[in-house]
Amino acid sequence: MTSLKTFDIQTVREDFPILKADLNGKPLIYFDNAATTQKPQVVLDTLQQYYQEMNANIHRGIHTLAERATAAYEETRDTLQTFINAEHREEIVFTRGTTEGINLIAQTAGRFYLKQGDEVLISAMEHHSNIVPWQMICEEKGAILKVMPIFDNGELDLDAALEMINERTRIVSIVYVSNSLGTINPIKPIIEKAHQLNALTVIDAAQAVSHFDVDVQALNTDFLVFSSHKLYGPTGVGVLYGKKAILEAIPPYQGGGEMIKDVSFEKTTYNELPYKFEAGTPNIADTVALKTAVEYVNSYGKPVLANQENDLLSYATALLTEEIEGFIPVGTAKNKVSVLSFRIEG
């Protein structure tokens, strides 16, 4: 195992070329990391290197560039398998991002398993991406979407949430870390209760994977999704984790290229996992660069990054409370990441 780099804020700033630019005559301080993160030079270098040294379509050519590009793309899958501790590499499916991941699950597992009168549970702190795909499939199937409540401080009402999981529940889809409140949800007991009642679990980990280690086997969730661009990687690529047996059981999402084994006008046999869910030419370059982004995060280690983030959160909360009259923080859960939402009275 390679040793971790020392975290020095000036060196870290140097890693991000966009932070060297002045904006309106001032050094750039960027706060909007929950929306998307900036990219370190190493990620930008990988993108350039990919196009300069290996650009080709993957999985179908046997020439040198095709082999290089395929190897690089598949190496990212291995890196991501380790990153979230998936049991099998074919449980890692590349998507366009969190939103596409949840739509994929709703349109495949949702369509396959939901029946009239079944219930899908989400929480009151979901991003739209974990609301609308469920509304769409529930409407189509005559299923009912229910919302697990939260307290005023932004914590999930866990007792009420567990109470809502019953024999009609087919799917529980919940955010791990809220993008607006910062709340880290107690997803383990929710997953356990869902499984006791034979419901599937989906975890929106878009805001979780950059802050702390996420272990899909320890969580024992059926699905988990996140985006590269919130993890210092490029836009346009995301990860869907699904348990192998479930991914094998459910139908494919989109048809065409890559997801087929044999095609005739009469019948198509689908490809094996994970390619069954990766129709068409994927976002090869950005996927290759996602590996570099994960390696960048790992080079410091998430506990070190989390420490820095927690220090900044405490500093900013104290300073704003002191300096701004009528400052009211929104989302004060005991267990939260470094997001600072607030209102100002009046």
**Which chain residues interact with ligand PMP by CB under 6 A?**
35, 97-99, 127, 129-130, 175, 179, 204, 206-207, 227, 229
Per-residue HEC secondary structure of the chain comes to CCCCCCCCHHHHHHHCHHHHCEECCEECCCCCCCCCCCCCHHHHHHHHHHHHHCCCCCCCCCCHHHHHHHHHHHHHHHHHHHHCCCCCHHHEEEECCHHHHHHHHHHHHHHHHCCCCCEEEEECCCCHHHCHHHHHHHHHHCCEEEEECECCCCCECHHHHHHHCCCCEEEEEEECECCCCCEECCHHHHHHHHHHCCCEEEEECCCCCCCCCCCHHHHCCCEEEEEHHHCCCCCCCEEEEECHHHHHHCCCCCCCCCCEEEECCCCEEECCCCHHHCCCCCCHHHHHHHHHHHHHHHHHCHHHHHHHHHHHHHHHHHHHHHHCCCEEEECCCCCECCCCEEEECC
Shortest gap between Cβ of 250 and ligand PMP (angstroms)?
21
Shortest gap between Cβ of 269 and ligand PMP (angstroms)?
31
Shortest gap between Cβ of 58 and ligand PMP (angstroms)?
23
> Of the two residues 129 and 169, which places its CB atom closer to ligand PMP in the complex?
129
Shortest gap between Cβ of 124 and ligand PMP (angstroms)?
13
> Of the two residues 36 and 308, which places its CB atom closer to ligand PMP in the complex?
36
> Of the two residues 141 and 229, which places its CB atom closer to ligand PMP in the complex?
229
Helix axes 284-300, 302-323, angle to 10 degrees: 80
82's tokens: 């380790």
Shortest gap between Cβ of 175 and ligand PMP (angstroms)?
5
Shortest gap between Cβ of 207 and ligand PMP (angstroms)?
5
> Of the two residues 114 and 209, which places its CB atom closer to ligand PMP in the complex?
209
Shortest gap between Cβ of 33 and ligand PMP (angstroms)?
11
- Buried-exposed string 255-287: b where 16+ CB fall within 10 A, e elsewhere: eebbbbeeeeeeeeebbebbbbbbbeebbbbbb
> Of the two residues 70 and 277, which places its CB atom closer to ligand PMP in the complex?
277
Shortest gap between Cβ of 206 and ligand PMP (angstroms)?
4
Which one-letter amino acid corresponds to residue 147? Answer: V
> Of the two residues 69 and 137, which places its CB atom closer to ligand PMP in the complex?
137
> Of the two residues 54 and 209, which places its CB atom closer to ligand PMP in the complex?
209
> Of the two residues 108 and 271, which places its CB atom closer to ligand PMP in the complex?
108
> Of the two residues 46 and 103, which places its CB atom closer to ligand PMP in the complex?
103
Distances (CA, A) of 10 to 7, 13, 19, 20, 326: 9, 5, 11, 11, 34
Shortest gap between Cβ of 279 and ligand PMP (angstroms)?
18
